[in-house]
Structure formats: C-alpha cells, structure tokens
Amino acid sequence: MKKLLLVCIALMLAAGTAFAGQTGAALSQESIIEKIQKQGVLRVGMSTFVPWAMKDKQGRLIGFEIDVAKKLAADMGVTVEFVPTAWSGIIPALLTGKFDVIIGGMGITPERNLKVNFTIPYEYSGMSMVAHRKKAAGFSRIEDFNKKEVAIAVRMGTTAEQAARKYMPNASFKLFENESQALQELNLGRVHAVVSSAPMPAFHALKFSKKLFVPLKDNFTREPIGFALRKGDYDALNYFNNWILINHESGFLKEREDYWFKTRDWESLVQ
C-alpha cells in the first residue's frame, strides 16, 4: 500500500515538473506579440487607481492607462481585454500568464526588474502626500513626518510604500491592499498622512478640504512608469518600446496625460 502511494506521488511530481518546464519554455519561445495577433485579443493586467484606471458610472473602465491600452490594441489591430488584479498579486499573475502585459502605472524599480522586463517609460509620476488637518497640524516638510509618533498609510507593495519608507524611515506604517482603504484610515484620523502617486493626494485633499490638506508643495520623488512583461520576450519588448516612442513623438501620450492629470473634466464621468 505504502509503495503504491509513493509511486503515485513520484509520478505526480514528475508530471508537474515536466508541465512546468513545458509551459515555461512555451511562454518564452513564442512572442506574445504573435499570440496576441493570433487570438485577436490583448490581455492587459491593471489595478484600479484614480485617475490611471477606474470604473465610470456605467461600470466601464476609464482613465489614462485605459486610453493607452486601447490605442495600443487598436494599433495592433486587436481588441483589448482588461484583467483587474489586486496590486500585490499583479506580478505573479503576469508571470503565470494570466494576461500579456501590465499597463498599470507600474513604476520601474530595480527589484521589480529582476522579475519582469520593463519598456521605456510612457509616463512619469511622483509621490505626493495628503495629510490630516488636525493630526498633522503645522507639518510642512518631509522631516515633520519622519518621527516615531507619526503613522502613515500606504498601499501595499507600491513604490509609494518604498518611497515613504525611504524618506520617512522613522515613521510607522500601515499597509493596505487598496488605495481607498488607506484614505479611509486617513479620513478617520487614524493616520497622519497617506503617501501615493500624484495627483491622487491633491484630488483627495480637494474633495475633503475641511479635514485634509496637502503638506508638501512638490512631489518628493520622480518615477518612470513602464509596461511590464514576462522576461525573455525581446520581440514584444521591442514592439512596445517603439510604440511608446512613436506615441511620445505624436503627442498622444502628452495629450492624454494633460487630460487625466492636469484637468478634472473627467470627474463627471465617475461621480
């Protein structure tokens, strides 16, 4: 009986590793560009993040990123399919082939780059901060927040978390899966501030101006944002890089950036 069981387990393990090897090889051998063209669908991994990607009143996705992905798909002659994914699991989901590319406001970092390939930046973002009027009264410099008694809420696994830890190593941190949870914590006055990519903190401070304010005049980091794709697919990397290059030159990216980040014309679409 025991022997039979051992043989069974050994067989299953062997099959598992064989499969793993096969799919791994298959994923890198065939460029996703070819796969996308064959299937007629570009699957884009993203995560809700105002105003990069969000649901409008009709439940459709809108935002800067959504415009970028839609144009990319149109230029490839395929339809686009968005796969909203929890931020903390977005890289594993890419690596296991749940979608073809992450177009999700993902900051290029050396750590992430060890796991995935990044394109050239299609956008730059910076970290900014929104703080609680009462709890963080009089705070105006980053040093004011870099104290033991200061609590800061950030979204888990984001570059906001990294930046906040780097610039405010003494503060204590509360990590949340979603931006809205972090902001809720701030609105309830349980933390002093929320660190996040511009322009969201400023927008949020505007909305709850009685309770919240923007303590720092400028963003305290500048980050390149790229598409992320599985490693080893240089064909796709080349295609996406050149697509970004062309759309920087043509002004498409600039025009979309102005609309989503500099104006609030889109606000009526959401609320």
Partner 1 sequence: MFSKPSNKITLVDAAALALVIAAISFFVSRMGSVLAYEWDWGAIPRYFFFRDPETGALVPNILVRGFFTTVKLSLWATVLAFVLGTATGIMGARGDGFQRFVSRTYVEVVRNIPSLVLLIIFYYFVSSRFLDVLELDVWLRGQSAGVQKTVSLLMAEPGRFNAFLSAVAALGLYEGAYICEIVRGGILGLPGGQWEAAYSVGLSGPQTFRLVILPQAFRKVAFPLAGQFISTIKDSAIVSVISIQELTFQGMEVMAATFLTFEVWVTVTLLYFILTFPLSMSINYLDKKFSPRG
Which residues of the shown chain bind partner 1 in the complex (CB under 8 A)? 1, 16, 19-20, 22-23, 39-41, 43, 48-50, 54-59, 81, 83-86, 89, 92-93, 96-98, 178-181, 183-184, 187-189, 204, 207, 210-211, 270-271
User: Is residue 97 within 8 Å of residue 45, measured between CB atoms?
Assistant: no
**What's the chain's length in residues?**
271
Question: Which strand (E) or helix (H) includes residue 59?
Answer: none
Which among 180, 141, 140, 144 is positioned nearest to 48, based on CA atoms?
Answer: 180
Q: Closest approach of Cβ 246 to partner 1, in Å?
A: 27
Q: Closest approach of Cβ 234 to partner 1, in Å?
A: 22
What residue type is 175 in one-letter code?
L
Nearer to partner 1, 165 or 207 (CB): 207
Q: Closest approach of Cβ 194 to partner 1, in Å?
A: 11
Nearer to partner 1, 71 or 98 (CB): 98
Q: What is the rounded distance in angstroms from the CA atom of residue 199 to the CA atom of residue 219?
A: 9
Nearer to partner 1, 4 or 114 (CB): 4
Q: What are phi and psi of 211, to 5 degrees?
A: -105, -30
Nearer to partner 1, 98 or 248 (CB): 98
What residue type is 254 in one-letter code?
K
Which among 50, 83, 54 is positioned nearest to 197, based on CA atoms?
Answer: 50
Q: What is the rounded distance in angstroms from the CA atom of residue 225 to the CA atom of residue 123?
A: 5
Nearer to partner 1, 86 or 246 (CB): 86
Q: What are phi and psi of 128, to 5 degrees?
A: -135, -175
Nearer to partner 1, 120 or 269 (CB): 269
CA 266 to chain CA centroid, Å, is 20
Nearer to partner 1, 70 or 248 (CB): 70
Q: Closest approach of Cβ 57 to partner 1, in Å?
A: 5
Q: Closest approach of Cβ 158 to partner 1, in Å?
A: 13
Q: Closest approach of Cβ 36 to partner 1, in Å?
A: 12
User: Is residue 104 within 8 Å of residue 227, measured between CB atoms?
Assistant: no
What CA dihedral angle connects 265, 70, 239 and 113, to 10 degrees? Answer: 70
Q: Closest approach of Cβ 26 to partner 1, in Å?
A: 9
Q: What is the rounded distance in angstroms from the CA atom of residue 255 to the CA atom of residue 271?
A: 23
